[in-house]
Amino acid sequence: MAENKGAILVTGANGGIGAAAVRALAERGRTVFAAVRDAASASAIAGIKGVRVVELDVTDPDGVALAAKRVAHDVGAAGLRAVVNNAGVIVQGPLELVPPQELRRQFEVNTFGPAYVTQALLPLLRAGAGRIVNVSAPTAWVPVPFLGPIGASKAALESLSDALRGELAAWRIPVVLVEPGATTTPIFAKAEAAARSALDDADPGRVALYRQQLAAVEKASANQRSHPPEKVAATIVRAVEARRPRRWYAATGDVRLLRLVSHLPAGLRDRLVARTFGL
């Protein structure tokens, strides 16, 4: 059990893993600040006891700072028990054909967003003897063709997390990484739709170069086993409530297997990934 029942802020709380985490934490008697870009999109968590919806666009540092002031007003000297940086997007497709604005959006949400939120809320975490929980992805350390943008953004997040852990050691503020693996959430459908839109706008001749590989990856991905977001939410709860949290939590067994794959010699690892995705 946790040492206290301090409040928690969760970003990307409007659906998927974020909404599941908000519900799970609220069920534990926590006060949860559910951060969403638009309060109108928070129907999945509306009306839950102990949940307070906060409008917060993680890509807007000024907006993040304003939201932090509102949370500080509510929690007072008690501060925060944890900040869960969950908000994220997936940008996929051949890097040659990823629009610059999509590549920028990938890093703005997945990498810069957690940095802005952490900067703004660290005073509250110090006050509440809290911790930072960053939701990452196995593609941070197992590069997958056509998932380069998401993998790179999460690799950057993990590097920032490791450095931040050392910076905050003086205040004993843990920095924890949670790896979800394949999860049944709308984020994958949104990513697929965005990727198809980008391909529709790209040079047909260049798109044709990748048709065979993209079809193989799509077929392999369709056969991939996904886990419910509640499974990841349970892992987030463990990371929040552990008296001495680990640096890294795998939400599912397949993530642990991928961790082993990441330690293989690079050539062998690349061949294994290529075979898995029909490349």
Q: What does the pLDDT read at residue 239?
A: 97
Give pLDDT, residue 225: 78
Q: For position 165, what pLDDT does the model report?
A: 98
- The answer to whether 220 and 278 have CB atoms below 8 angstroms apart is yes
User: Rounded to whole angstroms, how far apart are CA atoms 39 and 57?
Assistant: 11
Q: What is the pLDDT at residue 219?
A: 85
Q: How high is the pLDDT of residue 223?
A: 77
Q: Report CA torsion sign: 12, 13, 14, 15.
A: positive
Positions of the chain with pLDDT under 70:
1-4
Could you tell me the domains of the chain?
Answer: 7-276 (3.40.50.720)
- State the Cα–Cα distance between residues 230 and 122, nearest whole angstrom: 27
**This prediction's pTM:** 0.92
How far, in Å, are 25, 65, 82, 257 from residue 6 at the CA level? 11, 21, 8, 34
